[in-house]
């Protein structure tokens, strides 16, 4: 029974991600299990929106960010080309678990890649994850 439940939950989450990745939304609200932190996230789920990201923005409001959603889980890479805001990026698994967190350097064209297969990434103001005690293994709720 427990195995059937886990399989059903995984299928539901995968289907939810597929649906989320095919539609363009404005902002979505996100929380983290067991944490008080809340984020308002801009969805980047097309090649165009993922390529532009937060380029050319002068600032990012407190508790705001961007979620990048790719169609497949694989090694993903981000960079800071034309991005002046110091950011942190968290790579996430298909089920929303934080896999890795990196701080990024404004205007850097160096790729910051996940070492594990990631389906999503969340960019926020640098230091937001540590300030809110979000670390590897934590789960985001969208």
Tell me the C-alpha distance between 135 and 70, whole Å.
21
**Which tops the pLDDT comparison, 124 or 2?**
124
Q: What is the pLDDT of residues 32-91, one digit of tens each?
A: 999 999 999 999 999 999 999 999 999 999 999 999 999 999 999 999 999 999 999 999
The predicted-structure confidence for 1-41, as pLDDT tens digits, reads as follows: 666 656 555 555 554 544 444 444 468 999 999 999 999 99
Structural domain boundaries in the chain: 2-141
pLDDT computed for residue 1 by the predictor: 60
Domain 2-141: assigned CATH number:
2.60.120.1140
Kindly tell me if the per-residue pLDDT of 119 is higher than 80.
yes
According to the model, what pLDDT value does residue 18 have? 46
pTM, two decimals, is 0.81
Identify the pLDDT of residue 87. Answer: 98
Report the chain's terminal Cα–Cα distance, integer Å. 26
Phi first, then psi: give them for residue 18, nearest 5 degrees.
-60, -45
Q: How far is the C-alpha of 55 from the C-alpha of 48, rounded, in Å?
A: 12
* pLDDT of res. 67: 97
Cα(142)–Cα(131) distance, rounded to whole angstroms? 20
């Amino acid at each position: 029974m427990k195995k059937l439940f886990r399989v059903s939950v995984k299928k539901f989450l995968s289907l939810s991600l597929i649906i989320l990745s095919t539609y363009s939304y404005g902002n979505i609200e996100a929380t983290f299990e067991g944490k008080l932190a809340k984020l308002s996230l801009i969805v980047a789920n097309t090649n165009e929106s993922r390529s532009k990201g937060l380029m050319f923005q002068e600032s990012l409001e407190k508790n705001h960010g961007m979620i990048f959603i790719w169609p497949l889980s694989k090694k993903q890479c981000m960079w800071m080309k034309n991005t002046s805001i110091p950011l942190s990026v968290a790579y996430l698994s298909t089920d929303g678990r934080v896999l890795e967190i990196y701080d990024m350097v404004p205007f850097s064209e160096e790729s910051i890649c996940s070492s594990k297969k990631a389906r999503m990434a969340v960019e926020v103001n640098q230091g937001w994850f540590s300030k809110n005690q979000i670390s590897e293994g934590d789960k985001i709720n969208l």
